[in-house]
Amino acid sequence: MKITKTLPAFKDYIWGGTKLKTNFHKDSDLAVVAESWELAAHKDGTS
């Protein structure tokens, strides 16, 4: 079976903050992160 590595898709909605970046060590260029889609196959953000 082939291993596929993915990268999360970050969302910066109005309710976002910095806890995902600081508490869970998520590496994102966004100033605030509201959601981190770890595994998704969605038209608005594949990971």
- Cβ-contact 17, 30 below 8 angstroms: no
Average pLDDT rounded to a whole number, residues 29-36: 94
Domain limits for position 46: 1-47
pLDDT in tens, 4-24: 888 899 999 999 999 999 999
What total number of domains does the chain contain?
Answer: 1
Per-residue pLDDT at 30 exceeds 90: yes
Sign, CA torsion 22/28/30/34: negative
Share of the chain above pLDDT 90, in %: 57
Q: What is the pTM of this model?
A: 0.71
d(CA 39, CA 7): 8
d(CA 32, CA 47): 18
